[in-house]
Amino acid sequence: MKLTHDIFLEQQQKLLMTPELRQAIAILQMSTIELSEHINREMEENPFLDEKEAEDSNNDLEKGMEAEESSSRTEEWLELFHDRDIGLNVREQAEEKSFDNFLIRRPSLYEHLEFQLHMICKNESDLEIGSFLIGSIDSNGYLGGEMAEVARQLNVPEARVQEVLEMIQTFHPHGVGARDLAECLLLQLRHYGKENDIARAIIEHYLSDMAAGKINKIATNLNISLQQVQDMCDLIRTLDPRPGLQYGDANEIKYIVPDVIVEKVDGEYVVVVNDINFPRLSINNVYESILRQPNSFNQEARKYLEEKMGAAIWLIRSIEQRRMTLYKVSRCIVDIQRDFLDYGVEYMKPLNLRQVAELVEVHESTVSRATTNKYIQTPQGLFELKYFFSTGVGSCYGSQKISARSIKHMVEEIVGAEDSTRPLSDEAIAAALKNKGINISRRTVAKYRQELGILSTMARKRY
C-alpha cells in the first residue's frame, strides 16, 4: 500500500463554546440577586452599557434637550480622545452620609459577652483572662482550648482561669462557655433550677440513646420508670444545644428573592419573571456616536471600543434570552402543576426535566440550568423550581402515577394523626396508603420516613 498526502475539502458542523456562549449559559444559571450584582459589575467596567430610565412620552421638550446634551457630550468626549487617547479620568466620590449608616445593629456574641464581663468584673487580671476566654468561644457558644494552655499563655494559675470561666458560664445566653454538649445542657438546667440526678445521668451517659429513642434501655439501666425517663427527655429537648447562635452575625442572614412570581387573576395563573430590580440596559449614545467616527482616534482605541460594544450587545441579548427561557419553563411547570397550585401538595403530579424540555423545545440541560437556584412565589408559598420535579409511584387504579412528594406529605399526615401511645409501623403506614390507592412497599415507606426526619416506631412511642 502506498501512502500519499492529499488535499481535499470537507464540510463539518461543530458547536464551539465561545466566550459569548459561556456567558449566556452562566447568566441563565444565575439567580435574581446574582444577576443583579453581575449587571452592576458590567456597568462599572463597560462604558457602552447605560441604564435606561423611564421616559415621559408627553414631554417632547425634555427629549429635545436631552438630544442636544447628548450631542454636546459627544463633542466633549471626542476632544478627550484627541488629548488623552482612551484614558478616562475617574473622580473619586465621597461616601454619602446616609441615615442607614447610623442604624442600630444587633451586637455579636463576642460583644455581648464582653459587655457582661466589663459590667461584672473589675479586676484587670481577670478582665484579661476573661477576654482571652471569650475570644476562644466559637459561634455556637462552645469554648475551645484547654485550661492549662490558657494558664500557660497568660502566665496565671490554672485555678484562676477556671474561676473566670465559671463566671463567664453564668452569662447570657445560658450555656455559653461550655466545653462539650453535656456541660452546655447541664449549665442551662442549673440556671433554670431544674437540675436533678436523673437528668444529669441521662445527659452524661445516655444522650445517644435518648436521640435514638431507646427509652427502655435508659429506664432499665437507671432503674426508674419509663414515664420518668420520658419526662426528663422532654425537658432536655427544650434546651438549646447551640446557644451562641442566638447572637449570630446579622450580616450572614440571606434573604430569598423569588425569580418568578405566580398570581391567580380571574381564575387564571399569571407568570411574571421578577426582573424589576434589574437595571434596564441600553447602549450609551455618546460612545456609540464616537464609534461611528473612526478617524477620531487610533486603531487601538477603536479595537477597545468595538470589543466593549460587542460585549454590551451580547450581555443585553443574554439577559433577554434568560428572561424568555425562565418564563417558558415556569409557564410550563405552572400549567402542569395547576392542581398543586389550587389544592396543595397532595395533588402534585410527577414531573421530570425531559417532559418540560420537550414541551418548551429546548435541551434538558437548559431546563436544568434555568431551574437551578431559582425560586418561585406561588399562592401555596415560596418554593425552589426544583421542588416541582419528583418521581412517580404507581397507583392501584389505572396507569396514572402519583408524585413521590405527595406520598411523603401523606406519610406526614398519617404519622401526625396516629396514637402516640401506639405508633404505626412502616407496614401499617404502607397498608394505609394502599387503602388510598397507592401501591407502595414497606421499604419505600421507611425510606420516605427517614428523608422526612420521622423517627422509628419505637422512638415515637409515648408512655
pLDDT in tens, 32-46: 888 888 888 888 888
What's residue 212's pLDDT? Answer: 82
Is the pLDDT score of 7 beyond 90? no
Q: Is residue 454 part of a domain?
A: yes
Rounded mean pLDDT of the chain? 82
User: What pLDDT was estimated at residue 45?
Assistant: 87
> Is position 171 within any domain?
yes
pLDDT at 93 over 70: no
Check pLDDT > 80 for residue 150: yes
Q: Is residue 81 scored above 80 in pLDDT?
A: no
Strands (E), 72-194: none
Helices 215-222, 226-237: axis angle to 10 degrees equals 120
Burial 291-301 (b: 16+ CB within 10 A, else e): beeeebbeeeb
Its pTM stands at: 0.68
Distance CA 463, CA 456 (A): 15
Mean pLDDT on 414-420: 88
Share of the chain above pLDDT 70, in %: 84
* pLDDT for 172 beyond 50: yes
pLDDT at residue 91 tops 50 = no
pLDDT beyond 90 at 134: yes
Q: Which three cell numbers stand for residue 174?
A: 445560658
Q: Is 88 inside any structural domain?
A: no
Q: What is the rounded distance in angstroms from the CA atom of residue 24 to the CA atom of residue 451?
A: 36
Distances (CA, A) of 148 to 162, 177, 316, 385, 388: 10, 16, 62, 53, 55
pLDDT value at residue 96: 52
Domain termination site, one of 227, 247, 267? 247
State the Cα–Cα distance between residues 124 and 120, nearest whole angstrom: 12
> Residue 260 pairs with which residues in a beta bridge?
273, 376
Q: 352: which residues sit within 8 A by CB, 6+ positions away?
A: 389, 391
Q: What is the pLDDT of residues 362-406, one digit of tens each?
A: 989 999 999 988 999 999 999 999 999 988 776 666 567 788 888
Tens of pLDDT along 185-240? 999 999 999 989 999 999 999 999 888 888 889 999 999 998 899 999 999 999 99
Answer whether residue 119 is part of any domain: yes
Structural domain range at position 436: 393-460
Write down which residue in 200, 217, 247 finishes a domain: 247
How far apart, in whole angstroms, are the C-alpha atoms of residue 357 and residue 303? 40
Q: Of 240-249, 394-403, 413-422, which range is least confident?
A: 394-403
Pairing of strands 260-265, 375-378: parallel
Q: What is the mean pLDDT of residues 111-134?
A: 91
Q: What is the pLDDT of residues 262-305, one digit of tens each?
A: 999 988 999 999 888 777 888 888 777 877 776 767 778 788 88
Check residue 105 and give its pLDDT.
67
- pLDDT confidence tier of residue 15, bands split at 50, 70 and 90: low
Cβ neighbours for 293, distance < 8 A, ≥ 6 positions apart: 78
SS3 at position 217? helix
Kindly state whether residue 178 falls inside one of the protein's structural domains: yes
Q: Does residue 259 belong to any structural domain of this protein?
A: no
CATH classification of the domain holding 407: 1.10.10.60
Given a cut of 70, is residue 8 above it in pLDDT?
Answer: yes
Separation of alpha carbons 102 and 399, rounded Å = 63
Whether 63 shows a pLDDT value over 50: the answer reads no
Domains: count for the chain: 2
pLDDT (0 to 100) of residue 281:
84
- More reliable by pLDDT, 205 or 96: 205
383 occurs within a structural domain = no
| Residue of 19 and 69 predicted with greater confidence | 19
Percentage of residues of the chain with pLDDT beyond 90:
35
Phi, psi angles (nearest 5°) of residue 380 = -90, -5
Please report the pLDDT score of residue 87 as a whole number: 41
H/E run at residue 392 = strand 392-394
Q: Please provide residue 228's backbone torsions phi and psi, each rounded to the nearest 5 degrees.
A: -65, -45
Alpha carbons 84 and 362: distance in angstroms, whole number: 49
Q: Is residue 77 part of a domain?
A: no
**Cell numbers for 213:** 429513642
Which three cell numbers, joined as nine digits, stand for 135? 475570644
Distance CA 59, CA 52 (A): 17
181, 214, 247 - which closes a domain: 247
- pLDDT of res. 252: 58
